[in-house]
Structure 1
Amino acid sequence: MTTDTISKEQAINGWINGFIGVLLFSGSMPATKLAVMEMNPVFATIARAVIAGILALSVLLLYKEKRPEKTQIFSLILVAIGCVIGFPLLSSLALQHLSSAHSIVFLGMLPLSTAVFGVLRGGERPHPVFWFFSVVGSLLVMGYAFSQGISASPVGDLLMLLAVILCGLGYAEGAKLSKTLGGWQVISWALVLSLPVMLPLFFIYFPNNPGTISFKGWFGLGYISLFSMFIGFIFWYKGLAQGGISSVGQLQLLQPFFGLALAAYFLHEQVSAGMVGVTVGVIVCVAGTKKFAK
């Protein structure tokens, strides 16, 4: 779909849906922090996948979506490893060591990670400037992480870095697969494929004393299960389909700012000038990689 074939109404609807998707995703790290403060991060990862998976299966059955082809299964497994298991688990573990505001600095690398894997998986040959912005963005984030010293956790930083790498792989693979399978169908089938593994683990890791978990903890789990893992993808992919990937996709650059604002408002976490500065720098680098990716 090109800008010439997109009507003004489609473009507006695309930006609205894309903006809603970004807003929903922006609450992921603060909500995950609420959940893992009171429950096992492994259980939080499993529970969000199970809840979203059951919802996804219901929607697929309701709309009588066709099953993915055998040639698409491997790509769906990569999406599940990156978006359903890898990023949720590693980020949940990281948030036991970091504030959500600190983790959002790493989240600013997610569009960059997705772009890099898009190049690797798609076989494109980007302009050399692409790699310049890619390296500078990575150095900015890692430099900030190391500069925190004792006040931050090297373990938490490493977990967040790995989480962003896996999620970038899952996003890139999902974007490629969505051309043949459909946008929201990709995350839905990835969730459904994860259910046979996640459902038994849900009962194994279920808390012994669930009554000790406060409303805030359950709210955090509910948010990341419904909005971060499923509903957000519906708005996001719908917006991309209506307004165009290259256009609406730029809205993702706003996610770190929204995330920092939510962390400061709801969790009362301190957002330092360094966090904001690094986030701005990363966004500039991400914009550069997008411009020179092809």
Structure 2
Amino acid sequence: MRAQDSATKPSTITVGTTSPATATAGAGVTATGATVAGVATTGTSVTGSGTGAPATARPASGSQAPAPRTRGTLLALLGVVSFSLTFPSTVWGLESFGPWSLVAVRSTLAALIAGAFLLAGRVPLPERRHWAGLAVVAGGVVIGFPLLTTLALQTSTTSHAAVVVGLLPLTTATVAAIRTGRRPSRTFWFAAVSGAVVVLGFTLQQSGGAVSTGDVYLFGALLVCAAGYTEGGRLASLMPGWQVIGWALVLCLPLMAVASAVTLSIEPVHLNAHGIIGLAWVAAGSTFFGLYVWYRGMAEIGIPKASQLQLSQPLLTLIWSVFLLGESLPLAAPLAAVGVLVCIAVTQRAKS
């Protein structure tokens, strides 16, 4: 009687990954790597009836982590919001600093912040094979993009510059396809190109169809930034995203420290509240924090999908330029916003 009860009583086996043993429950319910005798491990619980009925698997108890795609999208969006404040903050910074000294000082401050985090975390030096990629990140997003956009903002309005940079998602997706060999679907490319056309059309409508000197700087900024984003996204899949931008900043520190000393002695400095706030944000917010969450997001959802989220950046910058700088919002902006958001939605659902 006891033997019969034991044979018919349901049994639970916790499947783990800590032992190569094989446990058998009842009539033919077998679980590989099982831990019997009530030892708790992380894995899946398999419940069998002991009468030959099929076993059912249920997830082990514990909190579920958010889906990587959702988390990556949120991180990338947070980066976009941080980037959208860069141009208004740069305009504020130019109230106190010259263009060359502003770029040098912001990079120096950001590098000091990154270096402090790396030291506190006792992070070892990257492998030698990663330094070339880090140099591309440094040249593109730490030096090239900030310098070229700062020079452009001396002659272009914030809203105009923001919309031109709206071509960055398509540029980044193209560079990423060339660099990594990944080929997004036709639907993705159609939506990406459509979003770029909307942004470009809005740009030409606002500038009267002409290309200014500021636009030349901005187009150059697009290329170097796309290269930096692509290489940084690739490296972020091999090391934590904050370490990618951290080491890229530290790599620039000696050069930027010297540049800060030279440019501050040449260009006049007139400190005010706007200038200090603008410098603080472009150094800590855009250059360090923004790129940190951005690279983490790219590592989780892929460079093409993350890049298309930046189609919303020009429209966010337009809003900031109205509230922070008092610029007028173009009437075509809401229409452009709708078109861009539709393109973003398509790119996020398309296979990449």
Same fold flag (TM > 0.5) = yes
- Of residues 20, 25, 29, the one that matches 2:87 is 29
In the TM superposition, residue 58 of structure 1 has moved relative to its aligned partner by 1.2
Q: How does 1:160-239 map to 2 (within 5 A)?
A: 160-207=218-265, 212-238=270-296
Instruction: Report the CA distance between 1:284 and its aligned residue.
Output: 4.1
Q: Aligned residues: percent identity?
A: 36
In structure 2, the gaps of 5 or more residues are 1-62
Aligned counterparts of 1:293 and 1:103: Cα–Cα separation in 2 = 31
In the alignment, is the contact (CA less than 8 A) between 2:134 and 2:232 conserved in 1? yes
Larger RCO: Structure 1 or Structure 2 (Cα < 8 Å, ≥ 6 residues apart)?
1
- Residues in 2 aligned to 1:162 and 1:283: alpha-carbon distance in whole angstroms: 25
The answer for the alignment partner of 1:123 in structure 2 is 181
**Matching residue within 268, 288, 301 for 1:245:** 301
Give the Cα separation in 2 of the matches to 1:158 and 1:8: 48
Partner of 1:87: 145
Looking at structure 2, the residues matched to 164 and 281 of structure 1 have their Cα atoms a distance apart, in angstroms, of: 21
CA contact 1:145–1:157 (8 Å) conserved in 2 = no
- Give the distance between the partners of 2:130 and 2:141, measured in 1 at CA: 16
Structure 1 CA distance for aligned equivalents of residues 178 and 320 of structure 2: 33
Gaps of 5+ in 1: 1-6
Q: Select the structure of larger CA radius of gyration.
A: 2
Q: Is the Cα contact below 8 Å between 1:83 and 1:171 reproduced in 2?
A: yes
Q: Is the 8 A contact 2:85 2:317 kept in 1?
A: yes
* Counterpart residue type for residue 127 of structure 2: E
Alignment correspondent of 1:72: 130
Q: How large is the Cα RMSD of the aligned pairs?
A: 3.1
1:268 CA displacement: 0.6
Map residues 215-294 of structure 1 onto 2, 5 A cutoff.
Answer: 215-238=273-296, 244-245=300-301, 249=306, 252-285=310-343, 287-288=345-346, 291-292=349-350, 294=352
Q: Which residue of 2 aligns with 1:10?
A: 66
Q: How far apart are the structure 2 equivalents of 1:135 and 1:20?
A: 23
Is the helix fraction higher in 1 or 2? 1
Task: Please list the CA deviations of residues 205-245 of structure 1 after superposition, one character each: whole Å capped at 9, or x if unmatched.
Answer: 0156866232211211111011101022334445667xx42
Give TM-score, length-normalised by structure 2. 0.71
Aligned length: 287
Check conservation: 1:115, 1:293, Cα contact below 8 A: no
Bigger strand fraction? 2
C-alpha contact 2:75 2:297 (8 A) present in aligned 1: yes
**One-letter code aligned to 1:67:** L
The one-letter amino acid paired with 1:224 is V
Alignment match, 2:171 = 113
What is the CA distance between 1:286 and its match in structure 2? 5.1
Partner Cα separation in structure 2 for residue 102 and residue 58 of structure 1: 36
Whether contact under 8 Å (2:236, 2:298) holds in the other structure is no
- Of residues 107-116 and 184-193 in structure 1, the stretch that sits farther from structure 2 once superposed is 107-116
What is the TM-score when the length of structure 1 is the normalising length?
Answer: 0.84
- The structure-2 alpha-carbon separation of the partners of 1:113 and 1:275, relative to structure 1 and needing over 3 Å to count, comes to same
